[in-house]
Amino acid sequence: MAPKLPPQPPLQHSTTAVADGQSHGHAAPPKGIFRWLLTTNHKEIGSLYLIFSLTMFFIGGIFALVVRAELFQPGLQLVEPEFFNQMTTMHGLIMVFGAVMPAFTGLANWMIPLQIGAPDMALPRLNNFSFWLLPVSFTLLLSTLLMPGGGPNFGWTFYAPLSTNFAPPSTTFFILALHIAGISSILGAINIIATILNMRAPGMRLMDMPLFVWTWLITAFLLIAVMPVLAGVITMMLMDINFGTSFFDAAGGGDPVLFQHLFWFFGHPEVYIMILPAFGIVSAIIPTFARKPLFGYASMVYATAAIALLSFLVWAHHMFIVGLPLVAELFFMYSTMLIAVPTGVKVFNWVTTLFRGSISFESPMLFALAFVVLFTIGGFSGLMLAIAPADFQYHDTYFVVAHFHYVLVPGAIFAIMAGVYYWLPKWTGHYPNEKLAQWHFWFSIIGVNLTFFPMHFAGLAGMPRRIPDYALQFADFNLLSSIGAFFFGASQLLFVLGVILCVRGGKKAPAKAWEGAEDLEWTVPSPAPLHTFETPPVFHRTSH
Amino acid sequence: MSSGSYYVPASSRWPVLGSVALGAMMVGTGIKLVYDTGLPLVLIGVVGILAVMGLWFRDVISESRGGLYDEQMDRSFRWGMGWFIFSEVMFFAAFFGALFYVRMFAIPWLGGEGAKGVSALLWPDFVATWPLLNPPDSSIAGPEQVFSPWQLPLVNTLILITSSITLTVAHEALKVGDRKTCRNWLTGTVLLGCCFIMIQGVEYYEAYAHYGITLEAGIFGATFFILTGFHGVHVIIGTLILAAMLVRIIKGHFGGENHFGFEASCWYWHFVDVVWVGLFIFVYVL
Amino acid sequence: MRSRWWLMAVSLAASGSQAQTNGWNMPVGVTDVSSDIYGLHMTIFWICVVIGLVVFGAMFYSLFRYRHSKGAKAAHFHEHTSVEVLWTAIPILILVGMAVPATATLKNMYDSSDAELDVMITGQQWRWRYEYLGEDVAFTSNMSTPRTQISGEETRGEHYLLEVDEPLVLPINRKVRFLMTSDDVIHSWWVPDLAVKQDTIPGFINENWVKINEPGIYRGQCAELCGIDHGFMPVVVHAVEEEEFDGWLAERKEAAEQEAMGVDREWAMDELVERGESVYQSICSSCHQAEGQGSPPAFPALANNEQLINDVDWHLDRVVNGVSGAAMPAFRSTLNPVEIAAVVTYTRNAWGNDTGDVVQPSAVAELIAQ
Ligand code: HEA
Ligand code: HEA
Ligand code: CUA
Ligand SMILES: [Cu+2]
């Protein structure tokens, strides 16, 4: 199955003077676990984020497998509906806040300083704080499952009043855990913005930055703008639950729909937070393996900015059927449809970058190409959902579940994996085992489509989401999805194996690990020494 | 952009301890709210956070005074503080958003006006008004009356605006190295902050004791307390920060050029001030 | 205008049109609105397919044609303003083309004026209550699939999970306005064939409407997560000819009047227990379980419940007024006095709660009137 391996550049020793760890005396770092607990180094913190994220991906994945196992056939077999709802909820929460967001933050920590020629993040101690809040938050979140009455069971969107007047007692802990995660995200984003705006190598203008840096700059802005709104809305929940306020209760003059407005004002930008850095990664990988500069650098930047700005104006497309006034409905339909335009620009740019390139198919490239195709399919179903009248039929069905898994799994997750395969040589000094990676790719692509494609049909045929049992006509689709889910889940073991093997050894990688790679990170040796760019490199403008 | 060599602190134990302390505080709060016990844990958490912040800032201050920081570091702090304040703005935006939504949509709908006015079928006796003295469900007692903006709230507005001016005077004095003037005006600012907090305390007492404005008093009480409450917390924090700055001024910290710690406190204080003006207009006057 | 779009879509969908019957695709449905929506759905689907073919076609062509392994040499262009403007402009035009019919359909869906019949739909954990406004006819509709089928002890029927004890009966060819609300959390009333899906928000009323073209039985489900039994909250609509509907409505009205008269008379214990058992099984058992054992801590047991056995007034009060802030609903307006008296009498005399108490409907009516 794995095709013949394409040529890789010969091993060479870096001639870059800057990147040599011993330049000036660093106090010896603490040993053992304390090294990790106390570190202020962006590379170590980056690794911590990535490991944390992988752990959460597995935990969230296991919850998804519980869901899929129960849905394998009609009837209630394995779990009670109550527990099923907790699994669905926790799966969504863990994947979104525990797997995807920390993975991107981890990549940002590792790569942004390297890509802009900075010695570290702007605020290194704060960086450590942002990370160590996460284990605290998620331990608390996961522990709610063991509390009396069970964990959160109201969906990752926790609509009031189900999550206020009708929720288990652990909801208070869920809110507090989310607060901690939110603080972590905000501080992390502040750090990233400060780094990008302030720490670039002399001579590097904003319009010279690699796209991964650009997309993260914009993502960080989104995070700082919307995480506080999430904090606000969960605080209102906390008050409704514990202090008798009536924000979301009509009896006192509030409105349950107010909750949804506030939630989705956060929630929609949140989904772009989970995709913009992915765009950045793909925009780095495709030119590298097409050996051709990225097409339309400037329009990529503008498109990203446009998506981010539009994302503040579309939130109510998740609420087409809550009974919005007609004008609101129309406004949100039009604004949502508009997002297809800048996103289309990106897709067209990627395809044009490939056009007349010199393309090879190493594992990062395979994942990136799969990203382009499958993300676009997810985008198309998103566009269908944006048509408000049709959303009256799609809403809260498996069609929506299919849509967002297409943009999240072969979207965000594939881009993360592409990035990991792409940068592993820089991190470890070894190439990942290419054969293993190729197997991982092909298994994943089959698994992912087998899992999520049938969900389109189940949804159109009328299967609502968040149900533990279903009518008989949906049985075939669910059977396929469940088989696919286990297959896809099992293939991820290959990924872990590949990463572990790569950390422990493998073919040595030169500083510039990929023939067509251009950005600054490829000028420092592989593995990148603990301290890089302690004296700023001089940035030479290349083509764009 | 990079110039010389950027100071990257060696490993530090404050962040981890800080996150543990924050975790303790949150868990404690949860236990307190749900099981009505666990106050000690909250206290441990709070004390821990304060201690960690003190020690962390002590490191920063000594690094700063040790000349380890350059202009670039200064800019990092500026960006950091600026965006932090932006995040605070968005936090308050959520509460203001809730207030506007309720006043412009939810209550009129419940009272039978606008696009979803049929909802009034469920609340035949309800009359939409703002301030909402009679919530739709009669089992929820609304406020008996609301505050006149032209008494204590106006006084508080004047206090905060004055405090922003006195703070600016102090800042200008620091810039030209007139530390004594700076100290005096900063002292004045801190005192004004304290006055504000006290007056707000009196108002809360009045609200519960004589006005029937409580957390349970329907959406008016809810929005009133969440907005003024979080603002009040910010004033308290701001006053503490300014007090810390006062101590540093007395100790002879800060130079005419190099005093970002002081400047950041000023930014924060002005932000708190601006939020109050918004509150005064939308919560009290309109 | 509407039907032209629909025709266009259907002709576009020529190959896809078999899909509508085999449960792979959105149903065309039995209302004008539902077929408009189906038309929109197919039109946009095919537009996406075409765009996809073009984009992926270009992509796979490049991947195949410019392989490094086949010695392709990379070109170096990286910008082309007019092309970029073009591929910004064309999608905008396509989107405008989609927005026009979508707007028309949406406007139509929002126009619930001139309805001939108003039905109030109230979501409750986990059943639907239907009230024909101005007709004094109201009833609740519970899932009728037995739990034994769900657990697999019994083979599953054809309409597994999509069947109810009392369907909503509607006339065809008449515009019916729905007023939708909820007593507890948000539910969503959805019947795919009618293309009506609308959230029911507690404390607010949403409007929607339907005009059914063909008689038949149409099934759907609650579409908004509403707690444990969200998956077991089906909707069944029985659409009948106009005359049949009028006859049915008159009959129900008559029965309701009979029941109202029953309030004043003295009921025997057996009568109440019998009636109460059926009310209990259809309404209360989803929370307090078939044998009154409940599922603590969320739902208290009613069997051998000390307080319940000792205190009739307290018991009655719980059922009539509910427990605010908890899942226990107030039944004062959703059950009639006879039903409440019956279910209370039943619970006080079943599963070993041998109190011997009889609660008369008249007493309940008095309590409610207070
Ligand atoms: C990474 C995450 C991500 C991304 C990128 C997107 C992208 C988009 N999403 Fe998605 N969405 C989610 C994650 C995401 N979504 C999640 C998690 C939910 C469910 C939440 C929940 O309820 O739990 C959701 C739900 C959701 C809904 C609500 C559905 C419902 O509940 O009823 C809607 C409705 O409009 C929607 C629309 C869109 C649109 C229009 C885009 C657009 O950005 C897509 C744009 C892309 C393209 C269109 C493809 C490429 C473009 C071209 C090739 C150009 C030419 C094309 C045309 C002119 C057609 N999404
Ligand atoms: C980035 C986000 C993300 C990711 C990556 C995923 C990944 C997956 N999701 Fe996720 N999902 C969401 C975000 C995400 N999901 C959200 C937001 C919701 C909505 C929640 C809500 O309704 O509130 C949702 C809801 C959701 C549902 C609907 C549940 C319901 O409505 O009741 C389903 C059902 O199939 C599902 C399945 C899966 C599967 C099979 C995967 C797979 O890709 C997972 C693969 C990973 C693993 C399986 C783990 C790794 C492997 C092992 C542990 C090895 C051992 C395994 C074997 C030997 C087999 N998801
Ligand atoms: Cu009712 Cu879901
Ligand atoms: Cu969205």
Q: Is B22 within 8 Å of A136 (Cβ atoms)?
A: yes
Least confidently predicted of A95-109, B159-173, B236-250, C339-353: C339-353
pLDDT band for A22, please (50, 70, 90 cuts).
very low
Contact: B116, C204; criterion CB under 8 Å: yes
**Chain B residue whose CA is closest to C111:** B115
- Our answer to whether residue A391 is catalytic in this structure is no
Supply the pLDDT for residue B272: 96
- A389 and C159: CB-CB below 8 Å? no
Residue A23: the pLDDT is 40
pLDDT at position B183, please?
Answer: 93
Which of the residues A82, A159, A162 would you substitute to probe the C interface, choosing the one with the greatest number of C C-beta atoms within 10 Å? A162
- ipTM, 2 dp: 0.91
Rounded to two decimals, the pTM is 0.92
pLDDT band with cut points at 50, 70 and 90 for residue A123: very high
Residue type, B15: P
Nearest to A161 among C105, C202, C232 (CB): C202
Angle, vertex CA C303, rays to CA C298 and CA C305, nearest 5: 75
Task: Write phi, then psi, for C148 (nearest 5 degrees).
Answer: -65, -30
pLDDT tier for residue C8 given thresholds of 50, 70 and 90: very low
Taking the centre of ligand 2 as the mean of its atom positions, its distance from the CA of residue A69, in whole angstroms, is 12
Cβ distance B222 to A254 less than 8 Å, yes or no, reads yes
Percent of chain C with pLDDT over 90: 54
Lowest mean pLDDT among A7-21, B98-112, C118-132, C297-311: A7-21
What average pLDDT does this structure show over C67-83? Answer: 89
Residue C93 has pLDDT above 50, yes or no: yes
Taking residues C71-83, report their average pLDDT: 88
pLDDT digits (tens, 9 = 90+) for A171-200: 999 999 999 999 999 999 999 999 999 999
Report the share of chain A in percent with pLDDT over 90: 87
pLDDT (tens digit per residue) in A308-328: 999 999 999 999 999 999 999
Is C226 touching ligand 3 by the criterion CB < 6 Å?
Answer: yes
Ligand 3 contact via C340 beta carbon (within 6 Å): no
Question: Does the B11-68 domain belong in CATH 3.90.1150.140?
Answer: no
C207 CB near a chain B CB, below 8 Å? yes
* pLDDT at residue A542, as a whole number: 63
Q: Hey, are the CB atoms on A34 and B23 less than 8 Å from each other?
A: no
User: What tokens appear for C24 in the block?
Assistant: 């792979």
Indicate whether C14 pLDDT > 80. no
Answer with the residue of higher pLDDT: C144 or C7: C144
The count of other CB atoms within 10 Å of the CB of residue C60 is 14
| CATH class (in words) of the domain with range C117-256 | mainly beta
**The residue to which tokens 């994943």 are assigned:** A444
- Lowest mean per-residue pLDDT among A93-97, A218-222, A253-257, B114-118: B114-118
Q: How far is CA A171 from the centre of its chain?
A: 25
Q: Which atom of ligand 3 is nearest to the CA of C187?
A: 1
**According to the model, what pLDDT value does residue A31 have?**
78
Classified as helix, coil or strand, C123 is strand
Q: Do domains C117-256 and C265-369 have the same CATH topology?
A: no
Q: For residue A504, name the pLDDT band (cuts at 50, 70, 90).
A: very high
Number of neighbours of residue A33 by Cβ within 10 angstroms: 8
Of all protein residues, whose CA lies closest to atom 1 belonging to ligand 3?
C187
Predicted local distance difference test score (pLDDT) of residue B11: 84
Q: Whose CA is nearest to atom 13 of ligand 2?
A: A92
CATH 1.20.120.80 is the classification of domain B72-285: yes
Check A163, A185, A397, A444 and give the catalytic one.
A185
C-alpha pair distances (Å), A100 with each of A41, A272, A381, A438, C57: 22, 12, 21, 22, 30
Token pair 């209990």 is found at C280
Minimum distance, in Å, between the CA of residue C150 and any CA atom of chain B: 35
* CB-ligand 2 contact for A156 (6 Å cutoff): yes
Domain ranges of chain B: 11-68, 72-285
Find out whether the beta carbon of A113 lies less than 6 Å from any atom of ligand 2: no
Q: Does B116 touch chain C (CB under 8 A)?
A: yes
Interface contact A117-B2, CB threshold 8 A: yes
- pLDDT, residue A28, reads 66
Whole-angstrom Cα distance, residue B221 to residue A212? 46
Q: Catalytic site residue A120?
A: yes
Q: Where are the domains of chain C?
A: 24-62+81-111, 117-256, 265-369
Q: Which residue in the list A120, A518, A519, A521 is annotated as catalytic?
A: A120
pLDDT digits (tens, 9 = 90+) for A362-417: 999 999 999 999 999 999 999 999 999 999 999 999 999 999 999 999 999 999 99
The answer, yes or no, to whether any atom of ligand 3 lies below 6 A from the CB of C187, is yes
Q: Which residues does ligand 1 sit against, CB inside 6 Å? A: A 157, 271, 274-275, 317-318, 336, 339-340, 343-344, 347, 376, 379-380, 382-383, 385-386, 391, 394-395, 400, 403-404, 407-408, 411-412; C 48, 51, 55, 91, 94-95
C205 vs B118: CB contact, 8 Å cut-off? yes
Ligand 1 atom, smallest distance to A380 CA: 48
* CB neighbours of residue A525 within 10 Å: 19
Distance CA A273, CA A215 (A): 9
Q: How confident is the model at residue A544 (pLDDT cuts 50, 70, 90)?
A: very low
Give residue C16's pLDDT.
Answer: 40
**What CATH number is given for C265-369 in this structure?**
1.10.760.10
Atom number in ligand 3 closest to CA A464? 2
Task: For residue A78, give Cα distances in angstroms to A82, A145, C24, C233, C303.
Answer: 12, 17, 27, 21, 28
DSSP H or E run through C274: helix C269-279
Average of per-residue pLDDT across C288-310: 86
For residue B9, which residues of chain A lie inside 8 Å, CB to CB?
40, 124-125
Q: Any idea which of A11-20, A460-469, B72-81, C157-166 has the lowest mean pLDDT?
A: A11-20
Gap from CA of B198 to ligand 2 centroid (Å)? 52
